[in-house]
Amino acid sequence: MFNDLPKFVFLTGKGGVGKTSLACATAVGLADAGKKVLLVSTDPASNVGHVFVIEIGNRITPITAVPGLDAIEIDPEGAAAEYRERIVGPMRGVLPEKALKGIEEQLSGACTTEIAAFDEFTALLTDDTVTGAYDHIIFDTAPTGHTIRMLKLPGAWSGFLETGGDASCLGPLAGLEKQRARYAAAVDSLSDAARTRLILVTRPRVSSLTEAARTSRELADIGIGNQHLAINGLMPEEDLGDALAASLIARDHAALDGMDAQLAALPQSRFALRPENLVGLGALRRMNAPVDLAKVAARKTETDLPPLAALIDGIEAAGKGLVMTMGKGGVGKTTIAAAVAVELAARGHEVLLTTTDPAAHLTETLAGDVPHLTVSRIDPEVATRGYRDHIMATKGAGLDAQGRAMLEEDLRSPCTEEIAVFQAFSRVIREAGRMFVVMDTAPTGHTLLLLDATGSYHRDVLRHAGENAGHMTTPMMRLQDPDKTKILIVTLAETTPVLEAARLQEDLKRAGITPYAWVINASLAATGTTHPVLAARAATEGPEIAKVRNGLAIRHAAVPMLAEDPVGAERLRALVGRAPAIA
């Protein structure tokens, strides 16, 4: 798998890239070589127990089928719940209920979950009685650079909530003074190249490689330089006359050829797309072996899946309104938003597509080829920079150097970009009262609740409206109204993306927003491919599609993986499933 590994090995990457599979396969390989290994999962979507077909949980458990290998699954959600209660519990009965709800919402975001997980595994990093028993400790999921920088800020450890701050990521650090020395030791371990290696796991896709490059630079900037790139899921080179397979091979090559130069300079390992789910020791031990296409068994796949057109029929019925695509990075939100916008315009409706897509050629193609469609593009970097500058000039104006440093770091939170982009989006939301507005990328329920709690939108608008408040429709109210807004949750038919989408749905429901439908994007099961590896992978989508259809979604549709990138109006319309004549 990987050569000359140090004591601590962290695997990081977006959901669905294969971190858990690589972590498990690495741990098995080391144990098979006679090493004593502890595998630690801090992934909220952890399925380590499923991979080994054994119950693990939050305790060190021997993997009896692999001598020398132990594993533990840290439950970040459970840890975050306990963490929140440690901070909020002492305030119950002291602060007003409204204030408590605001603090609880501050502590409900991804930052809290990540810091709570970090709190759990630092005990493993710094406890010699535990680490001394192992040659290697493999961590499935590493903390982000943002969290590590937060932990390095000396002023972020105490007193934040008491000062009435309303930032999104400093709150979780309140009350951590007792763990400060332990955290410092853990951060030092992460930065020690002789003891720690960080493996960036990615797929051979432009978006995934771009994210890996950003993460690599971010971690290098804070002193974590012992990095390794793992490219997972490469198509076998033989296309066997299957058009989809041939295009995926070409796409892999193009993505890798265009990789960021600094990322490409890292030591690399490459792993083929497997025809099987990586469950069980046999599959894990085969992970690094070439795929023998002659030995891949033929598999039947489900192809009777509802097309995107069926959802668009329901959206179209209102004649106007807001459509928003939401989902984790890399699932194809922009593509689905563009496909919906193109189809509505093709049916004769006036449509505004508002996107954060950096691919200018996509917006140019849409604007030139589709009547009735207007495209506006928001640059997230520009919007976020403007928002940060405004906050530093206002809230940061009266702070000392330490306070400004804390505020600057807090503004690096992913929530900041969501808020900044949503501010820009909110300016066009009112257009949905007279036409279709399709919005690519929306803030999570957590961010919306933060905006609501701080009065940035809903309450602020109502307060300034005065006696006209009864006639006002704020962005938050519009998002909560299913007649005015249709939320499409976009996912892939894979374990981790479906689990993350389910969590996103619960997040939205806390904000009073019910998604209209789920879209399963880039589905192999919907293609009818005959390539043995792709057909085998298509068969593995069945259980995840069943989860969406039978429990998670009110409505759903499946969009097939295309043989060509869906750029341009005609290819986008091909995603819809049927194409009425352009009005």
User: Do 40 and 72 form a contact (C-beta atoms < 8 A)?
Assistant: yes
For 390, half-sphere exposure in the C-beta direction (CA atoms, 13 angstrom radius) is 10
Q: What DSSP line would sit under 301-360, residue for residue?
A: -------HHHHHHHHHTTSSEEEEEE-STTS-HHHHHHHHHHHHHHTT--EEEEE----H
From 151, 137, 146, 119, select the one nearest 197 (Cα to Cα): 137
Q: Which residues contact 274 (CB under 8 A, 6 or more apart)?
A: 283, 286, 287, 291, 533
Give the whole-angstrom CA distance, residue 83 versus residue 85.
Answer: 5
Its sign, for the CA torsion 56, 59, 60, 62, is negative
The amino acid that residue 535 corresponds to is A
For 7, half-sphere exposure in the C-beta direction (CA atoms, 13 angstrom radius) is 17
- Inter-CA distances, 109 with 105, 163, 168, 424, 441, Å: 7, 20, 8, 22, 18
- Give catalytic residues, as residue numbers: 16, 18-21, 43, 496
- Inter-CA distances, 273 with 229, 534, 543, Å: 16, 9, 19
Element housing 464 (H / E): helix 458-465
User: Do 140 and 40 form a contact (C-beta atoms < 8 A)?
Assistant: yes
Q: What DSSP line would sit under 513-541, residue for residue?
A: ---SEEEEEEESTTTT---HHHHHHHHHT
User: Do 561 and 522 form a contact (C-beta atoms < 8 A)?
Assistant: yes
Exposed, middle or buried: residue 470 (CB in 10 Å: 0-12, 13-18, 19+)? exposed
The amino acid that residue 43 corresponds to is D
Give the whole-angstrom CA distance, residue 197 versus residue 188.
Answer: 13
From 486, 485, 461, 483, select the one nearest 473 (Cα to Cα): 461
Exposed, middle or buried: residue 531 (CB in 10 Å: 0-12, 13-18, 19+)? buried
Give the whole-angstrom CA distance, residue 522 versus residue 96.
Answer: 48
